[in-house]
Amino acid sequence: MKKDVMVSIICIATSIFLYYTLGWIDDERARSFPRVVIIIMGILSFMLLLQTMAVKKTKEKGKPLPWKRFLIMFVLVLVYLYFMETIGFYTSAFLFIVVVTLLFGQSGFSPVRILSRTVISAVFTGVIFVLFNVLLKVQTPTGLFF
């Protein structure tokens, strides 16, 4: 339940911060709707805090967050997005799938595995290309390569 105390405190803090930033909006009428929403959000967060403190300790459920995997993937996607426009949508997507499946897959890096991942990735990128660019004629960022 400790987690919920943290959550409600973060929500209350966010509400207070957002309420403060309302002052940056010029028109009173444009401010009125967000103001009501923020006030209600603050009240709800406070009620969550009260509820959390009132409920007697129960067993903490759920597995812990796998931080390492989450952070690696988070950064990988950022890198992918960063290069998407410079090296082209399909090249970056292809590389992204190869890297992710190799990094997170269970067995290590054998030549066979590298080859199979490359083939899977190539097939998938090919399917997307045909579906979107050929059949539906959508523009994609091409960048340096493709």
Partner 1 sequence: MEEFIQYLPNAFTWINLLTLVLGVIGGLILGATPGLSPTMAVALLVPFTFHMSSTTGLTLLGAVYTATVAGGAISAILINIPGAPANIATLLDGHPMAKQGKSQTALYLCFISSLVGGLFGMLLMILFTPPLAKIALKFGASELFWVAIFGITVMAGLSSGSIFKGLIGGMFGLLISTIGYSPILGTPRFVWHDVLTGGVAIIPALIGLFAIPQVFSLLEPVDERIKPVEFQPEKGILFKTIKENLKMVKALTIGSITGSIIGVIPGAGGQVAGLISYDQVRKMSPDPDSFGKGNPQGVVAAESANNAMVGPSLIPLLTLSVPGSPTAAVLLGGLLIHGLFPGPDLFTTHAEVTYTFIVTLVLAQVAMCVFGLILSRFSYSVMRVPNVEMAAIVTVLAVYGTYSVQNCYEDVIVMYALGTLMYLGRQVGFSPAPVVLGIILGVIAEDNYLKGRMIAETDVGIFNYFFTGSINIIIISLCVISVVYSVYGEIRSYRRTSLKGEE
Check residue 107 for interaction with partner 1 (CB under 8 A): no
Q: Sign of the CA dihedral 86, 90, 94, 100?
A: positive
Name residues whose C-beta falls within 8 Å of residue 95's C-beta, 6 or more positions apart in sequence. 80
93's tokens: 């997507």
Q: Sign of the CA dihedral 81, 83, 87, 92?
A: negative
Residues 42-81, interacting with partner 1 (CB under 8 A): 44-45, 47-48, 51, 54-58, 62-63, 65-66, 69-70, 73-74, 77-78, 80-81
Check residue 145 for interaction with partner 1 (CB under 8 A): no
Check residue 11 for interaction with partner 1 (CB under 8 A): yes
How far apart, in whole angstroms, are the C-alpha atoms of residue 90 and residue 104? 21
Q: Which is nearer to partner 1, 106 or 111 (CB)?
A: 106
Q: Which is nearer to partner 1, 58 or 110 (CB)?
A: 58
Q: Are 59 and 113 in contact (CB under 8 A)?
A: no
Name residues whose C-beta falls within 8 Å of residue 126's C-beta, 6 or more positions apart in sequence. none
Interface with partner 1 by CB under 8 A: which residues? 3-4, 6-7, 11, 18, 21, 25-27, 29-34, 37-38, 40-41, 44-45, 47-48, 51, 54-58, 62-63, 65-66, 69-70, 73-74, 77-78, 80-81, 84-85, 89, 93, 96-97, 100-101, 104-105, 120-121, 124-125, 128, 131-132, 136-141
